[in-house]
Structure 1
Amino acid sequence: VYLGADPLRPPQRINPGARYRAMEQFFAADGFRDAGAAMMTSTASVQVNLDAGPRSGWAQRVRLAHALGPTMIAIAANSPMLGGELSGWSSTRQRVWGQMDSARCGPALGASCDDPGTEWAHYALNAPVMLVNDPEAVAVTHYVPFIDWVDGRVLLGDRRPTISDLEYHLTTLFPPVRPRQWLEIRYLDSLPDAFWPAVVFTLVALLDDPAAAAVAAEAVEPVATAWDTAARVGLRDRRLYTAANTCVALAAERAPAELAEPMQRLARAVEQGRCPADDFCEQVSEHGAAPAVARLARGGL
């Protein structure tokens, strides 16, 4: 998948599974019909899984994983179209996620993030229940925070939840950084092969290298919550541009030989204030959307 959102087809569920049918029903009842449909059927990302790291460094690591989000979104933005229309956003995929219920899809951890485990538990308990397995997935079409089910204020399926229900509930929460005994980072648009290795390496290097992490944390602090700005204008925002250049330069200094060329390509693009969405928009302008998609599928930029 070479783009973060389907540029041609309207959002429409194809998967016949009970879970996805129930999700569609839930989003319709919850007031997020259009965004839910687009999220499920028309968006794609590069998901990066990283070790949680030593317990003593959890808070700092999780805090940085969140703080890097807007800058990395601006670097990797690659979804300027959805359903046949230019959206006006560099990352329409992130825009779609921003339109979803923040109790389920917003950042899971507060800015301080002093205790990630406690904050994640609070987030999960207060998020509304989406589905109950009875035995197949059934949508919960009224607002029931999981804590209300636990406490017995509301009974779903005429019962209180089991451990299996809790585990399933956690699979229906979609924050940009999801703790799963490791960190599942979900905020990068899907990218062409020419870009994704360098983008992923940049993210990993900034989190795994202590010296790079310290500099990156300071660089991205001014834009640590600029999720919508990053999705809308990408590197055209001066603060995001500055943070992105610092971050990519840090990663480039640490790149292995086999990534030298991809990192140089990424560094040039970021220095020019360009993201992959800009390349795709130029192709669409010159050739049309369908030919531009075909070119991407053949490996062209």
Structure 2
Amino acid sequence: MEFYHIPVLLEECMEGLKLTSSGIYVDCTMGGAGHSREILKRTSPEGRLIAVDQDETAVLAGRERLKEYGDRVTVVHDNFGNIKNILRKLQIDAVDGFLFDVGVSSYQLDNPERGFSYMEDAPLDMRMDKEHQRLTAEELVNSASVEELSRIIFTYGEERWAKRIAQFIGEFRQTNRITSTGELVAIIKKAIPAGARKEGPHPAKRTFQALRIAINNELEILESVVADATIFLRPGGRICVITFHSLEDRIIKKEFQKLTGACTCPPGMPMCVCGHERLLKIITRKPILPSEKEINENPRARSAKLRIAERVLNDRKEE
């Protein structure tokens, strides 16, 4: 299956990055290379791109699709959570822009073998990096305690029926191992009362989201990567982050706010002691949303939100 992914909010991201013909940019989630290709087109003739992806299939496809740009592009097989080490290994100490398109790609959703989709019966996997990750969704749902599963489904999926779903999973696995997405979907449907399944998204959507986030450690990585990327930004450089659900968006909003230097001392303190300094200014007070035209052409863009921040200080401090 060809690695395919329609770049979301493409024009908005290109404008947000303030591309220059000699800048260095990092696409931290290359995927189908749609954003990456556009960055390279618009930074000709000297712009450089570092394209990162943890999915080996994306890396192979991206190298092929971007090979016409020669040594202007470096494709890296790694998790963007390691961005500091990635850039240091490449001997890059200053960057003009970072782009993050967070979440699962169309290729990963549409490829049944990956186990991300609740619409196809497939092995329960959900790993974004099958080469380096060991924990699969199958291992998690069969080995985690009912209490831990309930916590994961409620926290990462914001699923009101989390406790009941976890209990039904626990009961099922007393006599059978859960090995496929189809089996898990059937359990979830039994757990959620019929009346609650009549409206809203697919009953398994939130649970599958929660498991995927837990398997790939997505939110914890997201919490640290904004600060890590900011270390390398030149003054005036931009960070653009596309998220697809409220948990991700809240994290990015919070991390941007932290780096604006807003005081975090408790109310009533006679003076500031937190020592926060202003590293970023927020460009998008409210997230940029896709147009109706884009949603009609690509329904998966519907929940996308783009937030942008800009580096403001001349002195960059590393840990």
**TM-score in same-fold range (> 0.5):** no
Write 1 or 2 for the structure with the bigger share of helix.
Answer: 1
Write 1 or 2 for the structure with the bigger share of strand.
Answer: 2
Normalised TM-score (structure 1): 0.26
In our comparison, the structure showing a higher alpha carbon Rg is 2
Normalised TM-score (structure 2): 0.25
